[in-house]
Amino acid sequence: GMGEVYLAKAQGAGGFEKLVALKVLSHQGEVTSKHADSLQREALIGVQLDHDSVVDILDYGVEEGRHFVAMEFIRGFSLAHVLRHTRDTGRPLPVQVVVHVVRTVADALRYVHRQHDPDGEPLGLVHGDVTPSNIMLSHDGRIKLTDFGIAALARELEGKGAVAGKPRYLPPEVLRGAPHHQHSDVYALGVVLWETLANRPYPEAARPGQEI
């Protein structure tokens, strides 16, 4: 809630131009140094990732006191936008399309989870916000996982009893205050799979062992 996203144009010599998505800390609300630190860590996490199904981070900086991240612009829609349409029309996505989308995101998460630092130590990266809003479907058929803001926030909140992320996509132990873990991302993707196949939101009260 502390950020705004703009469509911007990167310009260079010789008439070079490229459209980018620009995430900027908002002037509205109480923007603190912690928010700036979180945005910076989001950029630092994203710039380490190089995968066909993860949105590229292109730049990070501060302009006139406002922190920003420039990232790859995806021409298309979020899965959340698509699901709103399928629910309004009563026409769910074909099963083979759902399987392709979820399999692609699972592959992106496997890549993220297996990242190591320069010394070969596991980074233990967790996305923390695997939801339809953060799965982009491009017009040319690409599928991209975006927004690692909660990943940075989850590290800050670890051990403090606070919960980061959208409750419907969080496993029970995280809702009870346990830290995010890579298993949390797998759980969230499972909820996305359920919602996309069922063409309706996952019941927030539903938990393993309860009837849906």
The residues carrying an active-site annotation are 129
Strand partners, 22: 6, 70
Q: What is residue 158's three-state secondary structure?
A: coil
Alpha helix (H) ranges present in the chain?
33-47, 79-89, 95-113, 149-157, 172-175, 182-198
Q: How far apart are CA 74 and CA 89, in angstroms?
A: 25
Q: How far apart are CA 25 and CA 35, in angstroms?
A: 8
CA atoms within 13 A on the CB side of 55: 29
Assign residue 165 a region (left: φ > 0; alpha: ψ between -120 and 50; beta: otherwise). Answer: left
Give the dihedral sign, CA 151/157/161/167. negative
